[in-house]
Amino acid sequence: MNPNVLTITLNPTVDKSSSVANIKPEKKLRCEKPKYEPGGGGINVSRGLVRLGIDTTALFTSGGRTGELLQKLLKEENVTTLPVNVAAETRENFIVVDTSNNEQYRFGMPGEALSEDEAQLILDTINDVTPFPDVVVISGSLPPGMEPGYIKKLVKLAKGKGSKVVADTSGEALTAALEEGVYLLKPNIGELSRIANKEYLDNETADDAAKELVIAGKAEVVVVSMGPQGAYLVTQDETIHIAAPSVKKLSTVGAGDSMVAGMVSVLAQGGTPVQMARMGVACGSAATMNPGTGLFKKEDAERLYNWLSKHKG
């Protein structure tokens, strides 16, 4: 079966989460039984796409016992996987919620460096995917020591196969991806400011900065994530503000990856940029309705999308 969407996660993780009341230093804290979930940008996008009924394959590095656990967790969520075996142990992140005040503490680990051979193996594995997917999503952080130019190689490879590339990373890696040019970019205001070399951007100037990226050929579609204010959709022909629906927010964790999953689900089915942006906002908003590290529920996302379509949001 042709994987319609391939996601690439170079620095995946298993998110280990628990909860305890009254977090204090130097005190033995008796936490609840831990919960384990797959993590990493592209992996979360694939998890979201499965919920939306989109054929997807998640490619990621996998090493050691944590890598085996990651593969097992993804299998439980019916995500088709393409693990690239590496020597280093896959990282874990640790999340604890203080139940006395609902504050969340998130401890992100760096992961380990990949060898040159392992980096080449990733490229070879992607190159061998047959038939090649229509959409490739490159999302998440880079492993320590990996040159940002590696992202450029990934983008060039996917574009050379005729795929539309979606980039959702940050820093120098994102800059490298844009040098090659991508189809869809989803920055927040801070990331857009850095990309556009602007000291400060707001609602009035964000769409102009995004339009400059489109004109320069760095992206065909830019969707600027504005959090509770929704998003700006910018293409060569249109600039539209998609207002976020009003929902009861319990956690913003996973909202960005959920937003990408929503947009890619429409892109994979040949939808318009406006439909893409609406579904992105719907899935991102739906993710905030769930506590902890969960993504979105399909029924919430579809209800919010229908509301946005009806109200032309």
Radius of gyration of the chain (CA): 19
pLDDT tens digits, residue range 159-203? 999 999 999 998 999 999 999 999 999 999 999 999 988 888 887
Question: By C-alpha distance, which of 192, 195, 219, 222 is closest to 206?
Answer: 192
Q: How confident is the model at residue 292 (pLDDT cuts 50, 70, 90)?
A: low
Alpha-carbon distance of 153 to 159, in angstroms, equals 10
Q: What is the pLDDT of residue 236?
A: 95
Annotated catalytic, 300? no
pLDDT tens digits, residue range 216-266? 999 999 999 988 889 999 999 999 999 999 888 877 888 999 999 999 999
pLDDT tens digits, residue range 61-71? 999 999 999 99
Give the number of C-alpha atoms closer than 13 A to the C-alpha of residue 32, restricted to the C-beta side.
14
> Is 128's pLDDT higher than 90?
yes
Q: How confident is the model at residue 293 (pLDDT cuts 50, 70, 90)?
A: low
Q: What is the pLDDT of residue 18?
A: 93
Q: Indicate which residue of 15, 134, 207, 257 is catalytic.
A: 257
Percent of the chain surpassing pLDDT 70? 98
Domains of the chain: 1-21+33-169 (3.40.1190.20), 181-313 (3.40.1190.20)
